[in-house]
Amino acid sequence: MSGRLAIVRAAHLLDYLAVMRRVGVPVDRDLAKSQLPPQIEQSADFYVSVPLAMEWLAHSGRDLEPMELGFLAAQQASQASMKPAHLTEVLAAPTGLKRLQAFIRIARKEDSNLHVSLRREGSQIRVICDETHLNRHPFICFAEWLNLQGTISVLSDLGGPGWSPRELTFVSRFTPPDAARAAFPNTRILMGHPHTSILIDAALLARSCGPMAAAHDAAPWSFDTTQLQTKEAWDFVSILRNILQPYLGDLHPDLAFAADIIGMSTRTLQRRLQQCGSSYSEVLQEARFEVARSLLDGSGSKMIDVAMTAGYESQQHFSRAFRRFTGVTPTAYRRSILENA
């Protein structure tokens, strides 16, 4: 799969925008000139291209060293960047091991390119957070910092006050800032490593996460790594569909636009879609439908606003298209949602 087809929830990019605003970067102006979605800050649950985001960060944040910008964004980040349902699943886990298992399950749902795995190293466990297909990207450190910080955030309360991992490793070869070494005084920070990873004591994973967890304690050295494999959450069509969604309300993304965003020629994109048994027209219709259905499920927006946000030409066009997908009108669909709430 092309690295340009890596996507991440826009919520994880907002930490970078907050840092850049704080240091005086004209974020709004630079976003307007970029290929990133126009309303990215109002669309946290949409997905954006990871390479496009990293390249934009490198350009707009050029007054900061890449590792410094990555570290500052990681310090800004919080668990609230996860979807609420995903965060609930992680925090409800009774032990460190089960919490990490939950994190592994949801990681690819937040970031299509992120693969989290565990490797036992004696009495320690290495949590590997690889950005598959992007390890050679010159600004991979932006993704690395957030991925490592996300892992630390789900484990830190188990370690108690002052806890820090044994080791952090980065694929990136940029020099970490002094502030990062000061924040992790007891942690080895290694650059130019084959993997992005965090090394922790295995005993940490046996600890309980709450008062009801004692009965669930498990020896972390007995875990079966085959049970920790992340199911593939994405395919070519679903990634393309999600890439298109945040552009629908402001633009009418045609085939050439989509090809440019994902770094393919129009001919290659058409061929890939044909191989998947689909077409660009079908993917675009599905993207619009999914945006509209999400708005009908979770907001009180007027029908005309739903139609415009999803990129339909008119409310009538929206109603006809929605009925083709569901067999009912948008009004009837929303009524059924409210009745079953």
Q: pLDDT, tens digit, for every residue of 4-16?
A: 588 999 999 999 9
How far is it, in rounded angstroms, from Cα 96 to Cα 68? 30
Q: Are residues 222 and 240 in the same domain?
A: no
- Residue 220 pLDDT: 45
Q: 109 in helix, strand or coil? A: helix
Q: Are residues 224 and 240 in the same domain?
A: no
Q: Which residue has the higher pLDDT, 217 or 275?
A: 275
Q: Is the dihedral of CA 220, 224, 226, 228 positive or negative?
A: negative
What values do phi and psi take at 48, rounded to 5? -125, 160
Most confident range (mean pLDDT) of 73-87, 197-211, 314-328 is 314-328
Report pLDDT digits (tens) over 20-73: 999 999 999 999 999 999 888 888 889 999 989 999 999 999 999 999 999 999
Residue 26 lies in a domain: no
Q: Are residues 300 and 158 in the same domain?
A: no
Structure confidence at residue 126 as a pLDDT band (50, 70, 90): very high
Residue 188 lies in a domain: yes
How far is it, in rounded angstroms, from Cα 226 to Cα 224? 5
Expressed as residue numbers, the domain containing 255 is: 236-339
- Residue 341 pLDDT: 67
Q: How far is CA 192 from the centre of its chain?
A: 24
Q: Are residues 154 and 223 in the same domain?
A: yes
Q: Are residues 195 and 314 in the same domain?
A: no
Other CB atoms closer than 10 Å to residue 291's CB: what's the count?
23
Residue closest to 232 by CA, chosen among 130, 84, 113: 113
Residue 5 lies in a domain: no
Per the structure, the count of domains in the chain is 2
Of 198, 228, 258, the position where a domain reaches its end is 228
Question: Residue 136: pLDDT above 50?
Answer: yes
Residue 240 lies in a domain: yes
Residue 15 lies in a domain: no
Q: Are residues 88 and 216 in the same domain?
A: yes
Q: Are residues 210 and 241 in the same domain?
A: no
Q: Are residues 256 and 294 in the same domain?
A: yes
Residue 78 lies in a domain: yes
252: domain CATH number? 1.10.10.60
Share of the chain above pLDDT 70, in %: 91
Radius of gyration of the chain (CA): 21
* pLDDT (average), residues 241-249: 94
- Residue 255 pLDDT: 96
Structure confidence at residue 105 as a pLDDT band (50, 70, 90): confident
Q: Are residues 177 and 281 in the same domain?
A: no
Q: What stretches of the chain show up as alpha helix (H) in DSSP? A: 14-22, 27-32, 50-60, 66-76, 84-91, 96-110, 141-159, 178-183, 236-244, 255-262, 266-275, 280-298, 303-309, 315-326, 330-339
- Please report where in the chains the tokens 């886990």 appear, as a residue: 93
* pLDDT (average), residues 102-123: 90
Report pLDDT digits (tens) over 277-333: 999 999 999 999 999 999 998 778 899 999 999 999 999 999 999 999 999 999 999
Residue closest to 275 by CA, chosen among 287, 288, 264: 264
Give Cβ neighbours of residue 204 (< 8 Å, ≥ 6 apart).
96, 125, 155, 158, 159, 220
- Residue 223 pLDDT: 52
Residue 259 lies in a domain: yes
Give Cβ neighbours of residue 308 (< 8 Å, ≥ 6 apart).
249
Q: Are residues 200 and 273 in the same domain?
A: no
Q: Are residues 109 and 256 in the same domain?
A: no
Residue 253 lies in a domain: yes
Position 158: which residue type? L
Q: Are residues 193 and 98 in the same domain?
A: yes
